Structure 1
Amino acid sequence: MLCGMGTLYYGDNLDILRRYLGDATVDLVYLDPPFNSAQDYNAFFHEKDGSAAASQIKAFEDTWHWDTEAMRVYQSVTEQPGKVSDVMQAFYTFLGGNDMMAYLTMMAPRLVELRRVLKPTGSLYLHCDPTASHYLKLLLDAVFGGQNFRNEIIWKRSSSHGDIKQGMRRCGRIHDVLLFYTKGDSYPWNPVFTPYDKEYVESIYRFQDEKGRRYAEDNLTAARPGGEVSYEWRVKRRKNSDERWIADLEEEHLHPRKGWEYLGVRPYKGRYWAYSKQNMIKMWKAGQIIHRRTGFPRFKRLLDEQPGVPLQDIWTDVNPLAGSEKERLGYPTQKPLALLERIIAASSNAGDLVLDPFCGCGTTVDAAQRLGRKWIGIDITQLAISLIKNRLYDTYSKRLKIETIGEPASPADAAILASQDKFQFQWWALGLVSARPVEQKKGADHGIDGKILFRDDPRSARPEQIVIQVKGGKTGVKDVRDLRGVLDREKAAMGVLISLHEPTGPMETEAASAGFYTHKVNGRQYPRLQLRTVKELMEGRSIERPSTVAALDDTFKKAPPADAQPTEQNELEF
C-alpha cells in the first residue's frame, strides 16, 4: 500500500513555522519567495483544444509593498540586537521605505525561523532572481553566518531575450540565482555528476575500441618515485604486423617464439611508473592498458565508466519548462522537477525531511516524494493546497495519504473560514468536489464560482460543464432559480449549489424541477441541479456525475504519473 510521507499546511508560513515546527526538525529547506516578477499565481487551467482558459485565478500578487504592517514588522525585527537587526537597519538607511525594503522586511523573520527549524546538519537553498539576490545574500549572511555560505548557483532559466527591437539596451536576463547555505560545517553532500560536453568528449575521448566504446589514453608515469617503479615493462607482438603490442606477462622474451618480436620499455627520462609492476599486471588483465606503436603503455580510460563532471555552480543542463511539456501544469513560475530533484538528491538522504514554505504548485513536495523523502509544504491560499493535492493524486494515485493542517476539519470550522475570507472558503469548498475556480478578480462572479469539465463521449470536441456555486451565508429558493438560469445561459450539463446550511423544501423542489442530464454513451441519468451542504461533502456524499470510468475528466491539466512509486517512510515527528 502506498503511504504518504508529507503534510500540507494552509496559512501564513511565519505563523505555521512558529506554531507547528519544533527546533532542529528539518533536514533541507528550499524556498522560492515571490517578488515583483509581474506574475500572478494561477490555477492549473487547461483546455483540451489548446486554447487558454477564458478565466484564471489570481491567488495572490507576488509583490509586497511598504506600508504600516511592513513598518511594524521592521520595528519588531530591529528591536532584537544582533547582525540581523544591523543589516536591516543598513538596508533601511540605503533603500528607504520601498517595495524592496518591504520584501526584505517580510523575509527576515521567516529566514530566522527557517534557521531555527533546521537541524545542525541542515541545508537551505533560496531561489531568487538578480533583482534581489545581492540583498538576500547579505541577509542570509546575517542569519546563518557568512562562514556557512556554500554556493551562489546560477541556473540558466531561458535561452535568450532578444528585445533589442523594443529598445532593450542591456544584456538579456536569462538566469536565476540559488543561494546555498548550511547551518554548520557538517551537512550531507551527495556528489552529483553532469554529462561531459560533446566537444570535450570528441577531443578527449576520441578513440574507439573494437566494441565501439569511446576511450581516452592517459599517462601511466609519475614525477616522483613511490616504491619500486623503475622496472622494465615487457611487451610482444607478431613481426611485420600492424597488431598492437601486448604485455609479455609470461616473460616469453627469455625464450622467443619464431615470428614474434619483443621489447622492454622503461619510463621516460626523469619519470617513474605511477604503479607497481603487480598493479600494472592487474590493470592489463582488466583491459585498462593499451600500447602505442613504440610499445609504451597507456591507461585506457573508458568514457562509459566515468561518472561525468562533478556538479559546478553554473547549471545550464536543466531546461526550463516549455508550454508543451507534460510536466507543465500552467503555473507561471513553475520550476522543473529536475531542478528540485538535483537539490534534494545532493543535500539530503532518503527519509530526511524537506520543507518548502512557499510551495506554490508543489514541485518541491513532488520531487521529495519521488526521492523517498518526507516533506512539508506551506502555502497561504486554499487554492494552492487543492491544486497540490490534485497534482500528487494524479502522479501517485489517491492511495497517497496527505495530511492537511489549517483546512476546516468540521462544518463549524468552515463557517469560521467563510466569515473570515469568503474567497478562501470558496476555493476550499471547490476542492471538496475537485472543481477548478473560474474567476480571476474578486468581484462579480456571474453566478459561477467553479467548474468541473468532463467528456462522456470521447469523440466530443469540447467538454461538458458542471457549474458550481458556493454560498457561505443563508440560501433560499432564489439562489436555486438563479443557478438554473446560469445553467441555461452557459448551456451547462449540470449545476451544484454548495452551502453551509441545509436546503429548504422549496429549494429541493426547485432543484428537482430542473430534470436530468443523460449520459451520451450509456444513457444513465443524473440530477441536473444538485444541492449539497458542506457537512454532506465532508462526510463523503459527493455530487452525482459521470465517474472517471464512464467519462474523461478535463477539469485540471493532469500531472504525468510517476514512473516508480516511493517506499514507505516513517511518520513525521515534531
Structure 2
Amino acid sequence: MNKFYLGDNLTILREHVPDESVDLIYLDPPFNSNATYNVLFKEPSGEASQAQITAFEDTWHWGLESERAYREVVTEGPRDLANLLQALRAFLGQNDMMAYLTMMSIRLVELHRVLKPTGSLYLHCDPTASHYIKLLLDAVFGAERFRREIVWRSGWVSGFKSRASNWIRNHDTILYYTRGARFVFNKEAAYQPHPEGYQRRGGGANPRGVALDDVWTDVYSPWIMSFSREKLGYPTQKPEALLERIIQVSSNEGDVVLDPFCGCGTAVAVAERLNRRWIGIDITHLAIALMKHRLHDAFSEELSPYEVLGAPTTVEDARALLDEKDGRFQFEWWALGLIDARPAHDKKKGADTGIDGYINFFDDGSGKAKTIIVQVKSGNVTASQIRDLKGVLEREKAPIGAFITLEAPTKPMVKEAAAAGLYEPPSLPGKRYPRIQILTIEDLLAGHARLEFPRLAEATFQRAKRASKDRPVEQGQLGM
C-alpha cells in the first residue's frame, strides 16, 4: 500500500524501508542558511504567512546532532564517504554548510541501500551546495554511476530578478545517478513533440519528436506563472511537468517512487497519476495534512488506498507527543491538522494572542473570507478559557471558535460554550452553527466529532486541480 510517513526521514528509512525495494528516488532537500524552509504557506499577496514551521532549524546548524552523524559516517560509513567528509570538515570548518552535508551524507547512504539495482536517484538542488552534493553522491554511489547534471531553467527573468547586481540566477541543478550499470530508462518518454507545422528540411523527421537534452527550458515553476492552477502556497513547490518527465523516463507502472523530503507532495501526486506506487516522508504534521488534501482534491474516488504512519492514532499517542522535543508545539500543529486548520504562529513568535490556528471559509458572495479561531489545549482546562475564547472572537470579529482539548471538558465549560449562541450564515437562512465548539482529541480520533461550519468553500488549503490517471505508459528497456 502507498504510504505517508511522519517523522525524521533517516529514522523512517532505517526502520521501515527494506533493502533494494525502491525503483526511483526524487528528493529536493532544503538548504539555505539565510532562509526558513518548511514555510508551508504564503498569503495571496506573496508575503510570508504567520504559519512558519521551522522544522529544519536545528538540523542544518552544527551541533550535537550533526556531530553524532559525522562520527557515525566516519566510523561506520563507506570508506570513500568517510574520507571525503573529513576533508570537507577540514576545509569548511563547523558551520551550517558542514552540518547540512553531514546530515545529507548519512541519509544518502540509506537512500542508496533502499534503491533497487536498476533504480535511479534524482537530487534537486540549487547552486548553493550542488558542487558539494555531487562529491557526496560520487562517494556513495561511485563516480561511474553519475549519469547527468540536468539544468532546469525555472522561468523567465522577472522584474524582481533583474534588480540583482549580478548575473541573474534562473536555474536549478538536478543530479541524476543510478544504482547499477543497468537501469530503467524509457527512451520513448524522453522526447518532445515537434512544434505544430514543423517540417524538417529534406524530410525524415523523427516521428517521436525532438529528443530531450540535459537543459530543460520548457517547464516553468508554478511560482513564475501567476496564473498557474498548480500553486498550493508552498514556496519550494515544483511543477508537476518536471516530476512527470522524471517519473515517466526512469520508472514503469507499478514501480515504487520515494520522496524523502516530500513537502507539498508533487512527486507523490504525479506518481499516483502515472500509476506508480509511492512513499512520501515529511517531518511536519501540517505537510502531511496538505498532501492528503492535495490527493483527495485531485483524484477523489480514483485515489489509491494509502496509509499515514507515525501520526498519533490514540489519546495515549497524543500524550506521548508532548514528551518529544518541542512537544507542545508539535502537539498543537498535529491537533490543528485534525480539523484542517492552519497554524497561526511560529513557536518563537511573540506573545500569545489567544489564536493557535485558524480556518478561512466563504459563506456569501462578498468575496471576503471569514475566519474560525482555533485554540488547542493539552493541559487542564477550565470555563475561564472558554470565556477568553469568546473575547478573542469579539476582538477578531470571527463568527466561530473551536476549542480542541486533550482533557475532557467540565460541565461549566460546556455551559459557557452553549451560552455563546449560534452563528447563522447570511446565505444559508435557517442553518445555524454553535459559535464556540469544544472538540476533544478522543472524539476527533474516533470520528465522533467534527467541526461544524459552512463548507461551501474552504480557503485554508488551496485546492489542487482535478486530475485523472493517465493511460498506461509504454514500458521501457534497461539502458546502459
The two structures have a TM-score, normalised by structure 1, of 0.76
What letter is aligned with 2:299? Y
1:98 matched to 2:4? The reply is no
Measure how far apart 1:464 and its partner are.
2.0
Name the residue aligned to 2:333. Answer: 427
1:533 matched to 2:437? The reply is no
Contact 1:334 1:361 in 2 (8 A): yes
What letter is aligned with 1:476? T
What letter is aligned with 1:119? K
5+ residue gaps in structure 1?
Answer: 202-212, 219-299, 568-574
5+ residue gaps in structure 2?
Answer: 473-480
Structure 2: how far apart are the matches of 1:142 and 1:445? 48
Matches for 1:200-215 after TM superposition, within 5 Å? 215=199
Name the residue aligned to 2:234. Answer: 331
Name the residue aligned to 2:200. Answer: 216
Measure how far apart 1:167 and its partner are.
6.8
1:452 matched to 2:359? The reply is yes
Name the residue aligned to 1:154. Answer: 151
What letter is aligned with 1:442? K
Q: 1:133 aligns with which of 130, 133, 141?
A: 130
Measure how far apart 1:44 and its partner are.
3.9
Measure how far apart 1:109 and its partner are.
0.9
Name the residue aligned to 2:415. Answer: 509
Q: Secondary structure at the match of 1:397?
A: helix
Structure 1: how far apart are the matches of 2:103 and 2:193? 42
Deviation readout 1:405-428 (Å, 9 max, x if unpaired): 000011110111133211111111
1:109 matched to 2:106? The reply is yes
Q: 1:178 aligns with which of 158, 164, 174?
A: 174
1:354 matched to 2:338? The reply is no
Name the residue aligned to 2:288. Answer: 385
Q: Secondary structure at the match of 1:112?
A: helix
Q: 2:319 aligns with which of 415, 423, 427?
A: 415
Q: 1:120 aligns with which of 112, 117, 131?
A: 117
1:480 matched to 2:386? The reply is yes
Measure how far apart 1:214 and its partner are.
5.2
Q: Percent identity?
A: 49
Name the residue aligned to 1:542. Answer: 449
More displaced, 145-154 or 416-425?
Answer: 416-425
Measure how far apart 1:331 and its partner are.
1.0
Name the residue aligned to 2:3. Answer: 7
Q: Secondary structure at the match of 1:171?
A: coil
Structure 1: how far apart are the matches of 2:123 and 2:302? 32
Name the residue aligned to 2:66. Answer: 70
Contact 1:370 1:566 in 2 (8 A): no
Measure how far apart 1:436 and its partner are.
1.6
Name the residue aligned to 2:425. Answer: 519
What letter is aligned with 2:51? Q
Measure how far apart 1:195 and its partner are.
3.8
1:469 matched to 2:385? The reply is no
Contact 2:149 2:175 in 1 (8 A): yes
Structure 2 CA distance for partners of 1:436 and 1:39, relative to 1, 3 Å: same
What letter is aligned with 1:353? V
Structure 2: how far apart are the matches of 1:380 and 1:466? 26
Structure 2: how far apart are the matches of 1:44 and 1:55? 8
Q: Secondary structure at the match of 1:419?
A: coil
What letter is aligned with 2:443? E
Q: 1:188 aligns with which of 178, 184, 187?
A: 184
> Greater CA radius of gyration, 1 or 2?
1
Structure 2: how far apart are the matches of 1:526 and 1:323? 36
Matches for 1:282-297 after TM superposition, within 5 Å? none
Structure 1: how far apart are the matches of 2:234 and 2:271? 19
Name the residue aligned to 1:295. Answer: none
More displaced, 127-136 or 104-113?
Answer: 127-136
Deviation readout 1:233-255 (Å, 9 max, x if unpaired): xxxxxxxxxxxxxxxxxxxxxxx
Structure 2 CA distance for partners of 1:215 and 1:45, relative to 1, 3 Å: closer
RMSD of aligned alpha carbons:
2.4
Name the residue aligned to 2:477. Answer: none
